[in-house]
Amino acid sequence: MVPLNEVATISFGTRVTKKRDAGTLYPVYGGGGATFALDEFNRENCFIVSRFGMSEECVRFVCGKFFLNDSGLTADTLDKGRLHQRFLDTYLVGMQPQIYGLGRGTAQKNLNVSAFKEMLVPLPPLEEQKRIVAVLDQAFAALDRARALVEQSRCNASEVFDNVLASVDGEQRLLGSLVTVRTGKLDANAAVENGQYPFFTCAKDVYAIDRFAFDCEAILLAGNNAVGDFNVKHYRGKFNAYQRTYVITINDTNQLIYRYLYFQLVRSLKHFKEESVGAGTKFLKLGMINGLKVSVPTAAQQQHVVTMLDTLLEKTQRLEALYIRKLAEIDELKKSLLKKTFPAS
């Protein structure tokens, strides 16, 4: 067992001074996952460790070319005849809980880099290192294939849902001619614990508040999101809303059913993501909502579609819970393999 800084060079990433909308080639990593891209890269096929804003997933291996900002670091072997790079990468990924434990701070954990450099690394013979890596690579490849199959099953279930909506035959109408769109007035931090009324923000979770501004049936559409993954909710009753949450009410419920509109907007989320504007945070403009074209069949046809989709939604939610559990089991199996390989981790 030798200190990490005796067998590897620790390198920080490069600070990003300006985000460029045109940069779409290489994902940018640092303290967490990639949230935007640049048109240049400075790392390829290596593990990274978070320096700032550490989470429990503070170590990850990134495949392909990417840009590492100054919130992350990498370690490169000094002597490849003594320490195999893939062995070092695999070992450090297995040491993730210990590396997270080196974080300092409460509101935000920052890595104690000095302590990280002093971490002990096992140094078996080089051929043994290569053998260990080969065995783990084979096992991880099998687990990755299993994960891919589960992910494909999730996509297939989602496609069935979309195909039902795509098959609806009705008059194409601009949404703005059918609804009234308003926004909430409050800041996102207006939520209170155990409040009496729902408080809708742009988050997927629904919060609570002690006062209401709306008393009606409505569709709630998130108006901003860091990466454009907007969400839709359907609610009836008293509630309040964040100032970037769109509150959509139907002008004539004999023409358009709320639940049907909810499903149509769920289907449109991909379109909204493509149309959203902004660099650091993606926004939806009012015109994008009013200009959306929706298929409007008769009320009876809408109700038939709603009944079918609600039944399908219940089934897909059960499947989604199953898929999430399977993916978690695959991730736990990877951690277990690493723990058995490196008992110290």
| Same domain as 102, residue 12 | yes
What DSSP letter does each residue of 123-146 carry, written as one string?
---HHHHHHHHHHHHHHHHHHHHH
| Same domain as 194, residue 157 | no
| Same domain as 203, residue 159 | no
Tokens of residue 29, six digits: 């990593």
Which residue shows structure tokens 């049907």? 260
Give residue 278's pLDDT.
Answer: 85
| Same domain as 157, residue 228 | no
Nearest Cα residue to 235 out of 184, 170, 299 = 184
pLDDT at residue 70 tops 80:
yes
The model's confidence at residue 31, banded by pLDDT at 50, 70 and 90, is low
Instruction: Provide the percentage of residues in the chain whose pLDDT is more than 70.
Output: 95
Handedness of CA 308, 311, 317, 322 (dihedral sign): negative
| Same domain as 75, residue 141 | no
Element (H, E) at 319: helix 299-341
Lowest mean pLDDT among 58-67, 137-146, 149-158, 208-217: 149-158
In terms of DSSP bridges, do strands 59-68 and 26-29 run parallel, antiparallel, or are they unpaired? Answer: parallel
Kindly state the average pLDDT of the residues 278-288: 87
| Same domain as 308, residue 161 | yes
| Same domain as 274, residue 178 | yes
pLDDT at residue 345 tops 50:
no
As for how many domains the chain has, the answer is 3
Confidence (pTM): 0.58
| Same domain as 203, residue 87 | no
81-135 pLDDT, tens digit per residue, is 889 998 998 888 888 888 888 888 776 788 888 999 999 998 989 999 998 888 8
| Same domain as 304, residue 161 | yes
pLDDT at residue 320 tops 80:
no
| Same domain as 72, residue 134 | no
Amino acid code (one letter) for 234: H
**Maximum mean pLDDT: which of 97-106, 131-140, 260-269:** 260-269
Give me the residues paired with residue 248 across strands: 181, 219
Give residue 117's pLDDT.
Answer: 92
Domain that holds residue 158: 125-169+299-345
Across the chain, mean pLDDT equals 86
| Same domain as 312, residue 165 | yes
Give residue 192's pLDDT.
Answer: 93
Lowest mean pLDDT among 26-30, 264-268, 303-307: 26-30
| Contact (CB, 8 A) for 217 and 236 | yes
| Same domain as 209, residue 100 | no
